[in-house]
Amino acid sequence: MPYMSELIGKTVTDLDGRPIGHLKDLLATLRKDVPHPHIVALEVKTPSGSRLVPFCDVAVLVAPAIPLTRRSSEIEAFAPPGDLLYLVRDILDQQIIDVNDARVVRVNDIELARINGHFYIANVDISTQGLLRRLGLHGIASRIAARPRHGKLGAGIISWDDVEPLAASRTLRLKVAGDKVADLHPADLAEIISDLGRAGGTRLLESLDPKTAADALEEVEPDFQASLVHAMPDRKVADVLEEMSPDEAADLLAELPEERSEGLLNLMEKEGADDVRRLLAYPEDSAGGIMTTDFIAVGAEQSAAQIIAALRRAAGESETGFSLFVTDPEGRLQGAFTLKELVLALPDARAADFMDHDAVSVKLLDDQDKVAQLVSKYNLNAVPVVDDEGRLQGIVTADDALDKIIPTAWKKRLPRLYH
C-alpha cells in the first residue's frame, strides 16, 4: 500500500508522456457518511502555478511517474465540492488526536489503501520509520522495520478510525467533533486540550457539545480556561457555563474581563446566572468563594422513602449527593445525613430521626483553611455554608476544600512547558 511520502514530488505526465508538473497534494472527500476519506483529485505543481486534476483522469497513481489519461489541455479543472481534506496541507506534519490512547500525536506519513480502483486514507503513521521515510532515508527505515524488536506490525501506525483530524488545519474546521472524542474521559480531554495549546484547544472545545465541553473545561487549570474561552463566541461560552457547576463557572468568570463576564451572565439562563452571581460576590478564599450552590436539601418531616424517591428524580442533575441536608421552611439548616444513613434508615423513618442534629457548618466569609480543617477533623464529604441567619447557602465539597489548601497535585503547578 502506498505511502504519501512515496507519492509526493513525483512527476505527473499527460497522455503523450510529457511531464506537466509534480504532485503537490492529494484531495480527499470529508463526508460524515464515508468513514475513510477517498481521494478525488490531485494538486499538481506546474511551472504556471498549481492546478487541480480530477482523480478520474489519473491512469496509474502508484508508478515511477504518474501518467494521466488526457492531454494537458483537455483536463477539466476540478471544482472542489465544499468540504475537502488536503492531505499534505491538513494532515501531514500536523497534530491529530489519537483517540484510543487519548493523546496528541504528530503525523509523519499517511498510508493509502486501494479498494476497487479508489484510493482511501487507511492509516496515519506516527512512527520513527515514517519520519525517516519522509527524510528520504528509506534504507535506514526499512532496516529498523526489519529488526525483530521493532518489527511488530502496527507499532506507530494508527487506523484512520481512531484519529480525529480536528485540529489539523487553520482553514479546515469541522463543526461537530466525532463521538470518538466526546466519549473520552473529561480529564483525558482536558489533557488533550492543554497539549493542543490555546488555538487548537479552543477549536476542539468549540466543536464539543456544551455538556462535554463543560466537563472537560472544569478539569483545565483556571488561567488556561480563560485563554481558551477568549476566542469563543459568547453564545457558546454561555451554554458551556450553564452546564458547569456554579462554583467552577464563577471561578472561570472571575478570570475574564468584567464586561465580558457580565455579558456572559446576561446570556445565561436566569436561574443559573443568579447562582453564579451570588458566588462571585464572595472573596475567592472564603467559604462562600469555594462553595457550590448545587446541593440537596429536604424537610425534617419527610420520610426516608420519600427522600429516596425524590433523589431518584433529582439526583441525576446533582453531582453532590453523598451528603444531604435538612432545612426548615425558611431554609435554615437543621441537620445533615449521609447517603448511607438514608439507605440504612427504615422507609417510614423521618429525616429528623436519623439526621445529625449538630451538623457542622461554616459562615459565608469563613476562611477556606477553616473549611479544610473541619473536613479533615470530622471526615466530612461536604461542609454546609450558612449565612448570618443560619440559612443554608451552599456546600463546600471535600475535594474543593482540600484543593485550595493542597494545590491540585503539585505537578500541575509546574509551568505547563515542563509536564
Partner 1 sequence: MGFRQKVRHFGSRAVLLLSVIGPGIITANVDNDAGGITTYSMAGAHFGYQLLWIMPLVALALILVQEMSARLGVVTGKGLADLIRESLGVKLTTVVLGLLIVANLANTVSEFAGVAASMEIFGVSKYVSVPVAALLVWLLIVKGNYKVVERVFLAASVIYLTYVVAGFLEKPDWGAIGAATVTPTFRFESGFVTMAITIVGTTIAPWMQFYQQSSIADKGLKPSDYAFERVDVIIGSLVAILVAVFITIACATTLHRGGIRIETAGDAALALRSLAGPYAATLFAVGLLNASLFSAAILPLSTAYVVCEAFGWESGVSRTVRQAPVFFGIYTALIAVGAAVILLPIRSLVATMMASQTLNGVLLPVILIVMLRLVNDRDLLGDRFVNGRLMNALSWTVVAALIVLTAIMVGTSFLGWHG
95 lies in the site for partner 1, by CB under 8 A: yes
Beta-carbon contacts of 285 under 8 Å, excluding residues fewer than 6 positions away, are 367, 368, 404
Least distance (Å) from partner 1 to the CB of residue 322? 28
Least distance (Å) from partner 1 to the CB of residue 106? 3
Give 146: exposed, middle or buried? Use CB within 10 Å, 0-12, 13-18, 19+: exposed
The residue within the footprint of partner 1, chosen from 23, 53, 87, 126 (CB under 8 A), is: 126
* Residues in region 259-318 near partner 1 by CB under 8 A: 261-262, 277, 279-284, 289
Residue 23 near residue 8 (C-beta atoms within 8 A): yes
CB atoms within 10 A of CB 329: 7
Residue 246 near residue 292 (C-beta atoms within 8 A): yes
The residue within the footprint of partner 1, chosen from 24, 36, 134, 404 (CB under 8 A), is: 134
Stretch that binds partner 1, among 9-17, 103-111, 324-332, 376-384 (CB under 8 A): 103-111
Binding pattern for the stretch 143-182 against partner 1, x by CB under 8 A and - elsewhere: ---------------------------xx-----------
3-class state of residue 311 by DSSP:
helix
3-class state of residue 239 by DSSP:
helix
The residue within the footprint of partner 1, chosen from 74, 93, 301, 319 (CB under 8 A), is: 93
Stretch that binds partner 1, among 157-165, 182-190, 253-261, 345-353 (CB under 8 A): 253-261
Whose CA is closest to 76, among 47, 52, 59, 46?
52
Q: Give the DSSP letter of residue 53.
A: E
Residue 338 has φ and ψ, to the nearest 5°, of -100, 165
The residue within the footprint of partner 1, chosen from 16, 33, 179, 258 (CB under 8 A), is: 258
Least distance (Å) from partner 1 to the CB of residue 356? 32
Q: Where are the strands (E) in 204-352, listed by range?
A: 297-298, 323-327, 333-338
Binding pattern for the stretch 195-234 against partner 1, x by CB under 8 A and - elsewhere: --xxxx----------------------xx-xxx-xx---
The residue within the footprint of partner 1, chosen from 9, 62, 65, 106 (CB under 8 A), is: 106
Residue 240 near residue 214 (C-beta atoms within 8 A): yes
Size of site (CB under 8 A) for partner 1? 50
**Which residues on adjacent β-strands are paired with residue 382?**
397
How far apart CA 315 and CA 5 sit, in angstroms, is: 54
322 lies in the site for partner 1, by CB under 8 A: no
Whose CA is closest to 165, among 210, 133, 123?
123
Q: Which residues of this protein are in contact with partner 1, per CB under 8 A?
A: 93-95, 103, 105-108, 126, 131, 134-136, 170-171, 197-200, 223-224, 226-228, 230-231, 250, 253-254, 257-258, 261-262, 277, 279-284, 289, 410-411, 413-419
